[in-house]
Chains A and B, each alone.
Chain A
Amino acid sequence: MYLRKNIATSENGFIFNPSTGDSFSANPVAAAILEQLKQGMTFSDIKAGLLDSYEVDPLRLERDWDEFINQLREANLLAD
């Protein structure tokens, strides 16, 4: 599962899907994750990086991660 290639993102969290015309705003953590997804990093590498740089325990990260990926899928931003 990866971020669709045509999705435009900006550093400050603006997301644009040119194929649907939808735009979204992301909070800073979400923006950082999207940036790394765009670079083609794997889920597990991104999560490991988050655990290193944020004050978050692994269980909470897993819970929030699943919900975030779900949000991206529902927003049509992910492709298999």
Chain B
Amino acid sequence: MKKTWQSPVIQKMNGGLMNKFGTRTEYEPVKHIDGVSVQSLIKEYGSPLFVLSERTLRRNYRDAYRAFSTRYPSVQFAWSYKTNYLNAVCRVFHQEGSWAEVVSGFEYQKALGNGVPGPQIIFNGPEKTNEELELAVRNGSLIHIDHFDELFQLLAITDRIPEKPRVAIRVNMDTGVYPVWDRFGFNYENGQAWDALKRIVTSGKMTLTGLHCHIGTFMLSTNAYRQAVKKLADLAWRCKTELNTPLQYLDLGGGFPSTNTLRGSFLPGTDAVPSVDEFAEAITAQLTELGYGTQDTPKLILESGRVLVDDAGYLLSTVVATKRLSDGRRATILDAGVNLLFTSFWYDHTISPAQDFTHHTEDMALFGPLCMNIDVLRQSSNLPLLNRGDQVVIHKTGAYNMTQWMQFIHMRPNVVMIDEEGNTHLIREAETLEYLQQPEKIPAHLQQPEKK
């Protein structure tokens, strides 16, 4: 029997400081996702291919819900549409009991289309048109006002339609984390938020239902949420006592990180980020300290996205070529690039080979297929030698990539979901030239190839 081939390679040995974490010696190929072989997925649906695990989506939701609901009596999650608004993904979360959190008219329509009742849609964001607001008011949705212009826009709408808008305001604040996200909502410290609340209540034309904040994204500090709870609770208390308006909910937004590793981070994500349980403990302990959690307690709403979906998503890709760069480094070119993996701009995604390999490893740069210098998935990753045609699994790609992906140079590929029984379902078809060109119009004088 012939021996297994591996590309012959030499590596220069460099003296220097030892890596304090030691050298990784064992690699495992990732040949299956939820019991379905990577090879068969690519064979059936092509490469590159996004894969979502329904099992992981549901498990993540249940874990997060349990973390909060075992600590606080009234908890509601609202699925953050912008994180991943593929309908199949949204519907998994809605089946689990999640409301919808949307930030545009088109997302609002998607939520309605997914069967979410109007009163269970939270409408956030700095831009809402009159038509969108009127629809949301008529449907009894929760409108989170972002600025005074929107507040007055809504007041004008109340003159035109009989329904009373159900509103909250988004509050921004200093929680000890910098930069302070003060571009959205009304500021707590300078009294703007209180002015807005007074204006809403004294107008008599709107129902003030709650308070909302979203203090940042990929938050690495649980203490910031404690600060946010304190400040929101202070406003809620003043609404109750000074404006005689008890609030139905406090919406702490999202921002919990996934276990992806941020670029430049010293520790891997799995070691650096607090768990959902730790965030739940910080938020609910603070609420309890302030006397919430007994009678007349406001509902606690969470708009988590990333932490629920990131590790349920995989991007499968195939090696197009390998080459040596001028400095001797190996470069591996994949058929998936930053056009699909927007998050590679801020994460060092883990990439695993999907087939057996020999045990020689090498630091290599991983590039995508775009004819653009920016198309770098990893500047350096220690991987076994990969050859043309080999397949890889890129991990934790479920958040933001399937919404922020670009139709640039290449078209977007198929997206499949593996259900809890291990069946695969195509949930978004690969784009075609016809689909892309459908909205284009060619002026009459350009219909002919020759200039007249």
Contact = CB atoms under 8 A, between A and B. Distances in A.
A22 B11 CA distance: 11
Nearest to B8: A30
Given A27-B358, A27-B360, A67-B324, A72 B4 contact: no
B66 to A, nearest CB: 48
B6 A27 contact: yes
A44 to B, nearest CB: 16
Interface in A34-72: 52-56, 60-61, 64-65, 67-68, 70-72
Contact of B9 (A22, A26, A61): A26
B338 to A, nearest CB: 27
Contacts of B387: 60
A29 B10 contact: no
Secondary structure class of chain A's binding surface, majority of residues: helix
B3 interface: yes
B2 A53 contact: yes
B13 interface: yes
Contacts of B21: none
Nearest to A33: B8
Contact of A71 (B3, B5, B324): B324
A64 B11 contact: no
Interface residues of B, number: 17
Contacts of B3: 53-55
B178 to A, nearest CB: 46
A47 to B, nearest CB: 11
B2 A54 contact: yes
User: Interface residues of B: mostly helix, strand, loop or mixed?
Assistant: loop
B438 interface: no
Contacts of B324: 67, 70-71
B359 to A, nearest CB: 8
Contacts of A67: 7, 324
B183 interface: no
B113 interface: no
B4 A74 contact: no
A7 to B, nearest CB: 11
Contacts of B162: none
Contacts of B328: 71, 74
Interface string B354-390: 0000101000000000000000000000000001000
Contacts of A65: 8
Contacts of A27: 6, 8-10, 358, 360
B11 A68 contact: no
Nearest to B13: A23
Nearest to A70: B324
Nearest to B11: A25
Given A70-B324, A71-B324, A74-B328, A28 B10 contact: no
- Residue from the set A23, A26, A29, A53 with the largest chain B CB neighbour count within 10 Å: A29
B12 interface: yes
Contact of A26 (B5, B8, B358): B8
A75 interface: yes
Contacts of B11: 24-26
Contacts of B13: 23-25
Contacts of A68: 7-10
A28 B360 CA distance: 9
Given A27-B358, A70-B324, A71-B324, A55 B4 contact: yes
Interface string A9-35: 000000100000011111111100100
Nearest to A52: B2
A54 B5 contact: yes
A55 B358 CA distance: 13
A52 B360 CA distance: 22
Given A70-B324, A74-B328, A64 B12 contact: no
B5 A22 contact: no
A13 to B, nearest CB: 8
A26 B385 CA distance: 13
Interface string B381-417: 0000001000000000000000000000000000000
A70 B300 CA distance: 63
B1 to A, nearest CB: 9
6 contacts: A24-B10, A27-B10, A54-B2, A54-B3, A60-B5, A64-B8
The 8 A-B pairs at the shortest CB distance, nearest first, are namely: A30-B8, A56-B5, A27-B360, A68-B8, A29-B8, A54-B5, A55-B2, A64-B7
Given A26-B10, A30-B10, A55-B5, 19 more contacts: A15-B10, A23-B13, A25-B11, A25-B13, A27-B9, A27-B10, A28-B6, A52-B2, A54-B2, A55-B4, A56-B5, A64-B7, A64-B8, A67-B7, A68-B7, A68-B9, A71-B328, A74-B328, A75-B12
